[in-house]
Structure 1
Amino acid sequence: MEFIVSNVDELDSLGIQLGKMCKENDILCLIGDLGTGKTHLTKGIAKGLGIDECITSPTFTIVNEYEGRLKLYHFDVYRVNDPDEIAAIGFDEYIFGNGVSVIEWA
C-alpha cells in the first residue's frame, strides 16, 4: 500500500489507525528518504497499539522492542550491510514472535 500525507498531523493519524488495525505477526515495511517521517509514523503505530513509551529510532541497536496490545518490534536496517548482522540479532525470532514488526529502510 502507499499512503500520501500532507502534514505531521495526518502522519500521526495514519500511524494510529495502522496500529489499531495491526494483528499478530503483521510486518510493516517503511521506505523513504532520510527525514521523511518513518520513525514518526512508527510513533503513531505505537500509539495505536497502546504503547505509551517514548519511541526512538533503533539506528545503532537495529531493533527496539515495546509492550502494548501487541509487542512492537521496531527495526532500523539503514546501517546494516551484511545479512549476518540481521541473523545475529535473532531477526526470525522477532518476525515470528507474535508481535508487529515495523522495518525502516526495508
Structure 2
Amino acid sequence: MTTLGQRIRQKRQEMKLSQDQLAQKMEKSGKQIVSNWETDRSEPSISDLRKLAEILGTTASWLIDGGESPQTKVVQEVPPGYVLMPAEEVIEMQRQLIRSKDQTIKEKE
C-alpha cells in the first residue's frame, strides 16, 4: 500500500510538475515543503490537501487513503427533467442571455 507522500509524488509526476512548481501553485515558499510531504516527514494540512487535490486533478480522499480512483469522477444519474451539457455551451448560453437582457434594457431607455 502506498503512503500519502507516494501518492502526492505520483500525481505530481503525472502532471509533469517539479516540486518547485507544485510549491508555487500551492503558494508555499520553496520545494522543501513538497519534499517533506513526499517523503512522509510531514503531512499537509486539511486545507492544503484540498488544494493539492484540485491542482493534481484528484480527490483529497484518494490522496489520504488511495481508496478511490486517482481521477476525479462525478458519477451520477441525471435526474428526470435535467439534461447534461458541456460547460462551454452553458457559458455561451448565459452570455447570449446577458446580451439579450442588455439589448432589452437599452431599447427601453
Bigger strand share: 1
Q: Which has the higher contact order (CA 8 A, sep 6+)?
A: 1
Shorter-normalised TM-score: what interval? under 0.3
